[in-house]
Structure formats: structure tokens, C-alpha cells
Structure 1
Amino acid sequence: EMVALKRERGVEIFIFHDDNFFVPSAKRNLERIHALADALEEREIGDFAVVVKARPNDVQPEVFSVLKERLHALRTYVGIETDSDQGLVTLSRRLDSRQNHAAIDTLRELEMFGCFNLLIYDPDTTVASLRTNVDFMEHAADFPFNFCRTELYAGTPLLQRMIAEKRVKGDYFFYDYALRDAKVERIFRMSIDAFWPRNFGGGALHNEMGGWRLQLETCRHFHPEAFRPAWRQEMLDLHRRVGLDTAAGLREILAHVDRCAPSTDADFVRELSPRLRVVEQDVRRRWLDLHDRMVKAVRADARTIGWDVTPLQHAVPEVSFVG
């Protein structure tokens, strides 16, 4: 199928949206990666790349070095979700913090692009566990990430537990809940207000930066003769600029809640938000400059490839939503 897509439609990047791309065995993962790469080489697929998903414990040096060299992985979404011991238990992650840090260290050592989402707010979040996750943001600031609250989904043990504790509002369209710790609930509400444009709004920077990095990695792989190593360093600097600013903003909110009354929260958010927007505007400007230089060097915009080679894109009518 991959070879057919390459020859018939010109597809060069294959996204494995599969939570089971990796299994709990390094040996079996290596065998599978080599088998797929061998089969593609035998069929003379030519140049290609992949995007995959992984749990932190899947990110092992031997496996990922082969993933990089033989399947040309451009991006790995790593399901870190939380780095706090409390969060790891609440979310039944069956992982520990050491595995999260090892995954980041491996990707960094191999110079691979990984991204992740942190569920820093869950039903049992404490101020201490929140601080732990902010520490992790700083540790991994050279990778694009986002943060949000854990949502409750039908059929999950967490939802059943919350129903039993009578902490759930709404229905399967949207289950809502308050955080156990009133102080953490304040922090959550303030951070969502202040960070909404960065995390969730149209053109949310935290989300867009993953796409920007994918463009850079696409250029790096498919246009090695035009690629400049300094571009990657510029991109890492942009990740750090946003990641460290996000962590700093959350620390300001934590400090405010520690020392100020709830009646001052809205004013504090109004003061913090413009400072966050200034950073976002600066990072976006710097990216556009970097992107312009990349496009001029390769004489093709990496953003257009998916649209141009996928006929289904043109089969979907444009729809406008009003009100």
C-alpha cells in the first residue's frame, strides 16, 4: 500500500496513527521495523519518511536509532501525559518519571523530533504535582508540547470512579468536573484564561509549533543538499522560547494563588495575558523569517505537499459556520 501510494499519488510521508505501532518488546519492534524497511527497499519505494506514536517506554535508543535510519521517522508523538507520581497513578499510566526523562534524553541524543501533551490537571492534581509537571516542561523545553486538563471519556475506569464519587456533571457529550483541591481549581481557571490563545484558540501556537517543526524536519530529510544545520538550532531556540515562557507563566500563576485573594485573579490574568501574546507574536515572526529562508533554499513550500497530492482534499466542500 505504501509503495502504491508513493507511485500513484506521490505520497512520501506516511503517518501511522496507531497506538500499537510499538509492542512491549524491543526485539519484536526491531524485527518489525527491519522487516518493513526491507520490504519497502525490495519494492524500490525510493525516498520516504514516517510519523509515529509511542509510549515513553517504547523510546529506546536501539529501537529509535533504527527507526530513524531505516524508516526515516520525522516525528514521534510521545504519550508522556504527566511526570508527577500522583498523576501517573491517577491516569493509570503504568510508567514512572524515569521513563519519561529517558524518552526525552533518547530523542535529544538521536536529534529526533518528538512532541507531547501534558495533562497537568486531573481529578487529583495537587499543587506539588503541578509544580513537578512545570519542572518537566522546563526540562523538555526544546520539544514542542501543550498542556490541558484530563477529560473524562465513556467506558473508562476514571469516569466510573468520578461518577461513584459524585463529582461529575453533564453527560457523554461532555463530562465536566471540579478539581479536588480548590487552590488547584483556581490555578486551572486562571491558566486556561491566560493561555487559551496559545493552547486552544485558532492558530494556537503550542499546536502550530509541532507543524512548523515537521516542515523543518521534512526539509532536512528530503532536501539535505539545501538544508542548513543552523535552521534546526533556530527551531530549537523557538521551542525553548515558548516552552520556558509557558513554564514561567504557570509559575507566576502559582505564586499569585499562594499570596493573593481570589478577588484579584481576574486582574492578574489581564496583566499576564498581554505578556504571553508578545512572546507568541515574536516567535511567530521569527518562524516566518526562518520559513521564508527554507522555502527560498528548496524552492518549494513543505506545507503544500499534503494538499497537492491528496485528491480527497478537493472532494470535501468548503463549509462556513455562522453563529
Structure 2
Amino acid sequence: MKNKGKVVLIGAEDEENLAIRYLGAALKSENHEVKIISYSSRRDLKKVLNVIKRFYPDIVGISICFQSLALMFLELVKKLKKILPNTHITVGGHFPTFEYQELIMHDIDSVIRFEGEASICMLTDALVNGKNLENIPNLVYKSPHHDKIIENDIIRTFPDLDEIHFPLRKKKAQIRLGERFATLVASRGCFHSHCIYCCIGAFHNAKNGKKYAIRTPQNVALEMKELYSNKVRLFQFHDDNFLLPSVESNLTRLNELKLILKDYGIDLNKICILIKLRPDKLNGDIMDVLIDLGVIGIFLGVENASATGLNSLSRGSSVDDINKSLELIDQYGISTTFNLLMFHPKATLSEINENIKFMNENLDKSYDFGRVEIVAGSPLESLVKRKNLIHGKWPHWDYRIKDNAVEKMFRINQKTFYHEKSQYSELSHKMISLSYRSQLIKRLYPGKYSEKIIKKNKENLKKFNAFNLQNLLKIYELTGEDDWQDSINNINLNLQKNYLIFLEKSNEILNDMTKIQLLEKEFQKQSLNNYLQKSGLMKRLFKL
């Protein structure tokens, strides 16, 4: 009779980490004992070590999805090996897939590259039953005497996504935007797979055939049914592209999903969905079905608002695609958010001008702006190394932008908007969250007080974007000056002062939204739908 293992799976978990939770489900299906531990910051280190020590696992699996957290996880590995020297430590994820040769030189026993469901189960079985590791696919490991590194064969096909067990969920769903919330994926990979800054294409590039795989609508609907029965009402799809390459296949797939969800008894009017889309795959017919499904927010893959910038990033979409998609989404009245990667190795001031113009034309939308960053395995990593633009230390590489004026603008941007004490990042993410939450309230709790809050949020968002744009233009002007330290100090003082005001206003709006949601839920329990927002007495009583 086979022995069963004790496995700890560790990963950053602001929301449920699907990477480790898919692994956990695979291990559970083979009767291994699994414990999932969140490790999102160094503040968690002592607690994580104590939990692991008490559990005393045979194997610890660590997901290093975020390159920025690599050193934090290596610190955990080092301390873990001191207290449990005989416990096997394996790591996986996008970053280890490409940086396995460096990582294996630390206190790590093995690396699982690419998909890990089959490999983690085989590794656990081998370790607790004294088997050889040579037949475990996607595995890189140290020989028994640690005198050499062994790389096993890799799997060059996607697994059947419908055959993979649903992620191992927490018993009680998380709360996000004031509602019970879950993340899920309906696919893996990306049909475009050419963006210069993205490791997704590289991650699946070794596969034969298509660089993406999809779950059937039946399988997706079944998982949504299970989550819905646990009172989840907000579903966020983390697919890199929620849509497929052709209009016909999208309409067929989305309509089928809609019908199955209805057959399962899911009230589509009582759920909300967040998705990611490319701007070149959207039309009115698809939008109609997305609205029927409950989509309230779209993260649109804009990335750059200039033709040369899109070409440099190998996006495969056009400025016209972007503008048409934004116009279409606006017509349907749902929230759009996007990133602008206006700083990249080949960026020019002309491109920066076009992106600033685009920002000014979209002050009513929540967005973020910044630089294309180096991720392991991406074409960008190869480019900056080949062009001798790279500098800094592993794993936090930096690079120089070719155009001196743009490079200067970026460095000033680092010292202002992205200064360590700046509240820009916190506020921009809060604006995105409030934008989505506005649409959620509009869909689930319609009424005059909801509309009042939504209007207030739109006004605050426009002022925030206009203020940021004003300061970005000041930074643009500094590219032609030699002495700019005093100007930077003035910009930072201005940002700090006004961000406190925006933060206070945003928190006020957030409190208003929370109040509406909590009250509406209580009234709906009493079958008093719409009463709250129609009653003058309720307005006075609850100060709406």
C-alpha cells in the first residue's frame, strides 16, 4: 500500500492564489494531506514558519508567480531549511520556469517548470515512497549527492482543462467590492502570445500547436454553479484573454455559457463578472452577450496609445481598435480600466505626447501608467540584454530607455509618482476598485441614491486624472531642463497635499457605497426590493 504525503503549499494571497489551489486540489484527489499557507509579505514570515514546523510536511511547494517577491521567498526557503533540513522544497511558477538554473543553486531541492498538477502529485508520491525522480515531467532537481543538476523532459501539450480538479477553495468566500467574490480562469495561455513584455507567451512557447487551451462552457458553468451555491456573486476571470480569436467562436461559446448558467438556476441579474479583453476582438454582438452574462467591468488591453508604441510592444492591435472598443464599451455603460505602458526601451517623446493626449481624452476612466518591466523569459529581457541596456541585480533588473529625454522623464516619474512615499499607486488602484464597484451597485442595487454615489465617484475620478495629467505635463517640461531637483520637490509636495484630499474623498465614497450595499442586502432579505431608495423616510433615517 502506497504511503501518502503531507504537503504545504505557499504563495502570495491577496485573493485566492489559483496556482497553488489547483495544485492542492490535484494532491487532495490522490489523498495527500494538504495545507495552504498565505505568504504575502515579510511580516508573515514568523507565522508561516511556525505553521510549517507544527505541520511537519514531507514536501513544501512554493509558488513564485511574482518576480518582485523572489528574494522574499528565498529568505523563507533559507530559514525553512534550517528548521526542517530534511523536508523537500520545490518551487514553481512563471519566474522559476525560466530562472530555474539560478534558483536551484539556493536551498531549493527541485523546480517544477510550466504546469505543475501532474508533476507535484508524482513528486509527492516518489518522495514518500522512495521512488526515483527521473520520470517526473517538468522537474529540475539536484542529484542525491548534490553534485549535478538533472533536467527531466518537459510536457509539450496542455492538459485537458476539463479534467483538472477545481481549485481547493476556502470554506467561506472572500469579500471584494462588498460582495462574496471568487477568481477563476476559463483558459490557459494566450492566442496572441507575442507581446514583448509578457512571460505568458514564453511560458507556453515550448508547447506544440496552439499556445492556448480552453475549458468547455459546461465545465466553467459547473464551477460557477458551485461558487454561486456558496453565495458568490462577483466572479473575476483572470484569463489573459477572455475572448477567442474569432467573432463566431466567441458568440457560440458565450451564448452556450449563458444558457447553461440559466439551466443551473443561476440568476444572471444577481451576479457580476469582471474580465480582461484585447481591444481588437470586440463588437456589438459580443457586448450584448457579455452584458447578459453580467459583465460590469472590462480591463482592456490598451497598453499604449501610439501606433509606434504598439508596434514596439508587439501588441498586434491598433490605435483605431482601442478607440473603437472604448467607444463601444461606453455605449453599454460599463466600467473600463486599462494600463498605459508609455515608457519602454524604444519610447520617444512623440509617443509620450500621444499617450498624454489619450489620457486627456479619457479622464472619465480609471487607469494606471508606467514602464514596461523586465520579467524572466520575456522577449523584452532578451532585447535589453542584446542592446546592452540592462543594469541592476538579479532578480530586480533595470534598464535604460534609448531616448535620453524619455529616460530622464521616466526617472523623474520614479522620483515623484512612484516615489516610495507617494500615494499614487494606492489611489490609482482605489480608483479602479471604485469604478468597478460603481457598476456593481448600479446592476445589483439600482436607484436614485446609488446614482448619486456613482455620479460623485465619476466627478472625483475625473478630478484625480486631471490632477495627475497636470503634474505629468510638468515632468514632461523638466526633460528640457538641467536643474530640476527643486521642481521635483515642489511636485512631490503638491502630490502629497492633494493625494490626502483625494484619499479622504475616495474613502467617503467607499463608505457611502458600503452603506448602500449593506442596507440593500437587509431590505432584500425582507423582500423589500427598491424600497430603500424610494422612501424619503429611509433617506432621513440612514442619512443617504
TM-score when normalising by structure 2: 0.52
CA root-mean-square deviation: 2.3
Closer/same/farther in 2, CA of residues 133 and 202 from structure 1, 3 Å limit: closer
- How has the CA–CA distance of structure 1 residues 88 and 197 changed in structure 2, closer, same or farther, with 3 Å as cutoff? same
Counterpart residue identity of residue 509, structure 2: L
Taking the aligned partners of 2:477 and 2:520, their CA distance within structure 1 comes to 43
Which deviates further from its counterpart, 141-150 or 206-215?
206-215
1:190 partner SS? helix
Over 3 Å counting, the alpha-carbon distance change for 1:240 and 1:22 in structure 2 is: same
Structure 1 residues without counterparts, runs of 5 or longer: 303-323
Distance 1:42 1:301 in 2: 27
CA–CA separation in structure 2 for the residues paired with 1:137 and 1:164: 32
**1:45 is the counterpart of 2:266:** yes
Counterpart of 1:61, as a letter, is G
Moved more, 147-156 or 75-84: 147-156
Q: For residues 9-32 of structure 1, what are the alpha-carbon distances to aligned partners after superposition, in whole Å with 9 as ceiling and x for unaligned?
A: 211111110013201222221221
Alpha-carbon deviation of 1:193?
A: 1.4
Deviation string, structure 1 residues 138-159 (Cα, Å, up to 9, x no partner): 1111111111111122322232
Match of 2:342 among 100, 107, 120: 120
Gaps of 5+ in 2: 1-222, 522-544
1:204 CA displacement: 1.3
Q: Does 1:14 pair with 2:235?
A: yes
Match for residue 109 of structure 2? none
SS of the equivalent of 2:377 reads: coil
Please give the residue correspondences for 1:74-223 in structure 2 after superposition, counting only pairs within 5 Å. Answer: 74-170=296-392, 173-196=395-418, 204-223=426-445
In 2, Cα distance between the equivalents of 1:198 and 1:210? 21
Higher relative contact order (CA 8 A, sep 6+): 1
Take 1:98 and 1:295, find their aligned partners in 2: how far apart are those partners? 38
How much does 1:269 deviate?
0.9
2 CA distance for matches of 1:168 and 1:124?
A: 13
Identify which of 248, 272, 282 aligns with 2:501. 282
Cα drift, residue 172 of structure 1: 5.5
Q: Deviations over 1:52-79 (max 9, x none)?
A: 00011123232123201x1111211111
Instruction: Output one character per residue of 1:69-115: Cα deviation in whole Å (capped at 9) or x when no partner.
Output: x1111211111110112211110011111111112111211111010
| Distance in 2 (alpha carbons) for counterparts of 1:35 and 1:155 | 36
Q: How far apart, CA to CA, are the structure 1 residues paired with 2:436 and 2:315? A: 27
Query: 1:49-64 counterparts in 2 under 5 A?
Result: 49-64=272-287
Task: Mark the CA change 1:49 to 1:298 in structure 2 (over 3 Å): closer, same or farther.
Answer: closer
Cα gap change, 1:158 to 1:199, in 2 (>3 Å)? farther
Give the structure with the larger helix fraction: 1
Matching residue's letter, 1:29: N
Alpha-carbon distance, 1:116 to partner: 0.6
State which drifts further: 109-118 or 223-232: 223-232
Provide the C-alpha distance between the structure 2 equivalents of 1:2 and 1:22, rounded to a whole number of angstroms.
Answer: 18
Whole-Å Cα distance in 2 between the matches of residues 229 and 93 of structure 1? Answer: 37
* Residue 29 of structure 1: aligned partner: 250
Match status 1:298 vs 2:520:
no
Q: Please give the alpha-carbon distance, in whole angstroms, between the structure 2 residues aligned to 1:221 and 1:133.
A: 32
Distance 1:42 1:199 in 2: 51
CA positional deviation for 1:257: 2.0
**What whole-Å deviation, never above 9, does each CA across 1:233-287 have from its counterpart, x for those lacking one?**
22222221111222221111111222x21xx222111101222233322222222
Does 236-245 or 225-234 show the bigger shift? Answer: 225-234
- Alignment size in residue pairs: 297
Amino acid at match of 1:93: R
> Is contact 2:450-2:516 (8 Å) kept?
no
Tell me how far 1:173 sits from its aligned partner.
Answer: 1.5
> In 2, Cα distance between the equivalents of 1:199 and 1:48?
38
Equivalent residue number for residue 490 of structure 2: 271
Q: TM-score, normalised by structure 1?
A: 0.85
What is the percentage of aligned positions where both structures have the same residue? Answer: 23
| Local SS of the residue matching 2:370 | strand
Quote the residue 2:153 is aligned against: none
Displacement of 1:3 in angstroms is: 0.9
Change (3 A) 1:193 1:300: farther
Distance 1:203 1:90 in 2: 26
Aligned position for 1:67: 290
The whole-number CA distance in structure 1 between the counterparts of 2:500 and 2:286 is: 38
Q: 2:464 aligns with which of 242, 247, 250?
A: 242
1:155-186: CA deviations, max 9, x gaps? 22232222221222246512211110111111
Q: Check 1:229–1:207 CA distance in 2 against 1; reply closer, same or farther (3 A cut).
A: same
Which letter maps to 2:496?
R
Question: Secondary structure in 1 aligned to 2:484?
Answer: helix
1:251 and 1:225 map into 2 onto residues whose CA distance is: 39
Which AA in structure 2 matches 1:210? I
